[in-house]
Each structure stands twice: as C-alpha cells, then as structure tokens.
C-alpha cells in the first residue's frame, strides 16, 4: 500500500506522539523542537517503520509543516498554546511576556510576579498585543487599528 504525503505526515505525527509517551513525556506539553527531536530518535530506532519514512533530514519546508501540524494537533486536543514575546499593556507599563493562550483564542494569561494574570487580545493585532483589562483592549483596538 502506497501512502500519500499527507498520510505519511500524519503517521509521522503519530509516531512522534507514541515515542514521547513511551519515554515518559506528554505530547500535549512538548514543544515543537522536542517533537522534531523525538521523530528523529524514532527514525533512528525504527528505520523500517512507516513513521520513519517521512524524513526530516534535508527539507526545511517539511520541518515547518511538521511543526505547524504539531501545534494544530495540540490546539485541537485543548493544550495551552504559548505566544512568546507579546506586547502586554498593564495599568502602569508595557512589558513583553509570553502569553498562554486559552482555547477561546481571545483570552489568556501571563505570569506577573509569580501570579497568573488574565489578559485580553487587542482586536486586529494578530494576537501580538494584549491588555490586562477588557476595556483597555477595546480602547487600544479602536485607537491603534481603526476600521477603514
């Protein structure tokens, strides 16, 4: 049976998830870099399996597609997605922090002084700008990204 490229990629994703579980890691909390490493380790240990045939050795676009598929799978499964270096407006300052995105996609939280602080996306900022209050997020969207 001949597999299509999409089927081979899905098999590789499953192989990476299985490899991580067998080695005591949760695929939901594993970064894309660790998933790529897990797939490479799987390919070394099981070179004749279908998951190993979809090679990550030479093509950057294959790696990028694998990473996109990995993150999409994590989102479908309800994992928290991290958005690094986002602009977060607080009451008194502007800081750059990692936003942990909740499944709704418009709310998340950041860690400030070892506490989870809720944040809200500024509309039309492509999830780059966030605010600690809903009102400020709406105000910033109106000021910075006016509808034309």
Query: Residues 38-68: pLDDT tens digits?
Result: 998 998 898 888 877 776 555 777 888 888 8
Mean pLDDT of 130-141: 94
pLDDT of residue 58: 56
Structure-model confidence comparison of residues 34 and 103, the more confident one: 34
Query: Residues 64-95: pLDDT tens digits?
Result: 888 888 888 887 877 777 788 899 999 999 99
Query: Residues 2-21: pLDDT tens digits?
Result: 778 788 888 889 999 999 99
Question: Within a 13 Å sphere around the CA of 141, how many CA atoms are in the beta-carbon half?
Answer: 18
Report yes or no on whether pTM surpasses 0.75. Answer: no
């Amino acid at each position: 049976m001949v597999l299509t490229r999409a089927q081979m990629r899905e098999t590789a994703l499953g192989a990476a998830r299985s490899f991580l579980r067998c080695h005591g890691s949760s695929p939901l909390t594993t970064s894309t870099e660790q998933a790529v490493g897990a797939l490479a380790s799987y390919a070394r240990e099981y070179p004749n399996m279908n998951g190993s045939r979809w090679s990550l050795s030479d093509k950057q676009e294959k790696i990028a597609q694998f990473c996109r598929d990995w993150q999409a799978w994590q989102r479908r499964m309800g994992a928290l997605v991290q958005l690094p270096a986002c602009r977060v407006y607080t009451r008194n300052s502007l800081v750059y922090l990692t936003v942990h995105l909740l499944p709704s996609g418009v709310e998340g939280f950041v860690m400030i002084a070892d506490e989870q602080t809720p944040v809200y996306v500024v509309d039309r900022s492509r999830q780059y700008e966030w605010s600690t209050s809903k009102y400020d997020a709406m105000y910033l969207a109106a000021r910075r990204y006016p509808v034309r």
